[in-house]
Amino acid sequence: MIMALLRVCRRRLPLWALVMTVVAVAVPAVAARAQGGAAGCAVTYTTNEWTGGFTAQIHVTNLGAALNSWRLEWTYGGDQQVTSAWNAQVAQSGSAVTAANVAYNAVLGAGASADFGLQGTWRTADPAPAAFALNGTPCGGTATPTPPTPPTDPAPAGCAGATICSDFEDQTGTEPSGAWQTTAPDCQGAGKVSVDPSVAYSGTRSLRVDGGAGYCNHVFAASTRDLSSVGPVVYVRMRVRHTTALPTNHVTFVSMPDASQGGKALRVGGQNGALQWNRESDDATLPEQSPAGVALSTPLPTGRWLCLRFQIDTTAQSMRTWIDDGEVAGLHVDGVPTQNVDGQWLARTTPPRPTGLRLGWESYGTGDDTLWFDDVALGSSPIGC
Ligand code: CA
């Protein structure tokens, strides 16, 4: 959790600057811990926030005697309203929230922890809760920010040595060249990829995609690298910026040829306004496109650079996805079918085997967008933001 907090901070700042940022902002994570020798609990509450909405991951540790069932309570200081939850039953009355165990995580032994998450909305403020209580026992009164500690498992933001490590600064023409080649699977129309010398996350250049609505405007810049031997887990990190909220209709902006689908694509894009994974061969989606499933994903914020990370296990059905280091609960395949999340995805048991990376735009109906990609990295080891 602390790692996640630290990684929110921008790269290139020295550690002291990261710490200062954390202290000054005091979000997204706070921890409340038992004071003195009193038995109680410790809670870490980590949020991923966007205008009007948030997700929170809650990690609760039982510091008292073993519990056969548990109930974590807190009060929101802002106008947060919980709309859905996973791995706990969450109820809200006014600003008071109660999260109760579900059947499979009811037992919480002494020293044991449980993790659950929720999604909600907010209008004016979204501060982390100041205090928690586990089965009525306070976790420690006034919350104190988690003391900054050096990361113990840093995923380096740099990507030297990775199979793909591209900041596009070597792209001096207006068209992608060298390690990136323009491609338009299926059919080509008004969609366009180019090198933008005036918009960048790093340096002065990025890859720009003018994505057009309509099926025949598919266009991508494809990495020339063969990814067939990357793994067993494929880690991807990229900076993305775009102008238009994800549409209701299905769109794709990352497309990976997948040997397990006979070369058809494993795709990252959107549907119903939220991020989703899609499998071309059977059109399975992650999350399932039910209202509850969509609510477990997240819109793709517009008008700013964000950090998209994901990992794909090529040996088992397991995928995880992060936006700005907040994990997106609805974009998590864990191998056990979960209704609204990966139930449909796990109808297929063969894990994906990406062999290439394409960045661009596919619309299958309405939906156009202008996107920029920068600092794109892919390799066999975790790559941080
Ligand atoms: Ca750049």
The per-residue pLDDT for 65 is: 87
Cα 238 to Cα 76: distance, rounded to the nearest angstrom? 33
What is the average pLDDT score of the chain? 85
Cα(198) to ligand 1 centroid in Å equals: 10
Cα of 307 vs centre of ligand 1, distance in Å, is: 14
What pLDDT score does 29 carry? 39
Lowest mean pLDDT segment, chosen from 11-20, 36-45, 367-376: 11-20
Q: Separation of 342 CA from ligand 1 center, angstroms?
A: 34
pLDDT of residue 195: 98
Average pLDDT over residues 129-151: 65
Neighbours of 187 (CB within 10 A): 10
Q: Ligand 1 center to residue 160 CA distance, Å? A: 15
Ligand 1 centre to CA of 29 (Å) is 30
State yes or no: pLDDT of 242 exceeds 90.
yes
In this prediction, residue 143 carries a pLDDT of: 39
Task: Output 295 or 53, whichever has higher pLDDT.
Answer: 295
Residue 23, pLDDT above cutoff 70: no
Predicted local distance difference test score (pLDDT) of residue 154: 55
Is the pLDDT reported for residue 25 higher than 60?
Answer: no
Is the model's pLDDT at 211 over the cut of 80?
yes
**Radius of gyration over alpha carbons of the chain, in Å?**
21
- 113 or 206: which leads in pLDDT: 206
Give the per-residue pLDDT at 214.
84
What's the pLDDT score for residue 39? 60
The CA distance from 170 to 183, in Å, is 19
Mean pLDDT of 244-257: 96
Helix (H, G, I), strand (E, B) or coil at 15: helix
CA of residue 170 to ligand 1 center, whole Å: 9
Q: How far apart are CA 301 and CA 298, in angstroms?
A: 9
CA of 55 to the centre of ligand 1 (A): 30
Q: How far, in Å, is the centroid of ligand 1 from the Cα of 50?
A: 25
Query: Distance, CA 309 to ligand 1 centroid (Å)?
Result: 17
CB crowding 91-109: b at 16 or more within 10 Å, else e: ebeeeebebbbeeebeebe
* The residue type at 309: R
Residue 299: is the preceding peptide bond cis (ω within 30°)? no
The arithmetic mean of pLDDT across residues 222-229, rounded, is 97
> Tokens at residue 41, please?
């609990």
Instruction: Measure CA 138 to chain center.
Output: 31
DSSP string, 155-176: --S--TTSSEEE-STT--SSS-
Q: How far is CA 307 from the centre of its chain?
A: 9
Hey, which residues does 371 pair with through a beta bridge?
209, 242
Using pLDDT thresholds of 50, 70 and 90, give the confidence band for residue 368. Answer: very high
User: What's the pLDDT score for residue 34?
Assistant: 34
Task: State CA 158 to chain mean position distance.
Answer: 19
291: which 2 tokens? 């209202």
| Domain annotation for the chain: domains and CATH numbers | 19-138 (2.60.40.290), 164-379 (2.60.120.200)
Runs of H (alpha helix) within 206-364: 291-295
More confident residue, 241 or 34: 241
Q: Which of 63-67, 141-145, 296-300, 349-353 comes out lowest in average pLDDT?
A: 141-145
Q: Kindly list the strands in the beta sheet with 89-93, ordered across the sheet, starting from the edge strand earlier in the chain.
A: 89-93, 96-100, 71-75, 132-134, 137-138
Q: Of 70-79, 97-106, 303-312, 347-356, where does mean pLDDT reach its minimum? A: 97-106
Two tokens, residue 383: 């790559």
| Averaged pLDDT for residues 180-190 | 84
Q: How far is the CA of 171 from the centre of ligand 1 (A)?
A: 9
CA of 208 to the centre of ligand 1 (A): 11
How many angstroms separate the CA atoms of 252 and 246, rounded? 10
* Å from CA of 167 to ligand 1 middle: 4
Ligand 1 centre distance from Cα of residue 239 (Å): 10
- Calculate how far, in angstroms, residue 164's C-alpha sits from the geometric centre of ligand 1: 14
Go through 308-321 and write b for each residue having 16 or more CB atoms within 10 A of its CB, e for each that does not. bbbbbbbeebbbbb
Report the separation in Å between the CA atom of 374 and the middle of ligand 1, taken as the mean of its atom positions: 5
pLDDT, greater one: 22 or 344: 344
Question: At 132, phi and psi to the nearest 5?
Answer: -135, 160
The CA–CA distances, whole Å, from 173 to 103, 201, 205, 258 equal 58, 18, 11, 30
Measuring CA to CA, which residue among 16, 43, 298 is closest to residue 146? 43
pLDDT digit string (tens) for 95-132?
999 999 988 788 898 888 888 888 888 888 889 998 99
At 121, the amino acid letter reads T
Confidence of residue 94 (pLDDT cuts 50, 70, 90): very high
CA of 168 to the centre of ligand 1 (A): 5
pLDDT at 5: 38
Query: Comparing C-alpha atoms, which of 357, 384, 329, 352 is closest to residue 261?
Result: 352
DSSP 108: B
Handedness of CA 150, 151, 157, 163 (dihedral sign): positive
Amino acid occupying residue 16: W
Instruction: Give me the pLDDT at residue 21, please.
Output: 30
> What pLDDT does 144 receive?
40
- Give me 235's structure tokens: 């880690």
Digit-coded pLDDT (tens) for 299-311: 999 999 999 999 9
Counting other chains too, the contacts that 264-267 makes at CB distance below 8 Å and 24 or more residues apart are 265/185, 265/358, 266/312, 266/352, 266/354, 267/362
Q: Reply yes or no on whether the pLDDT at 147 is more than 50.
A: no
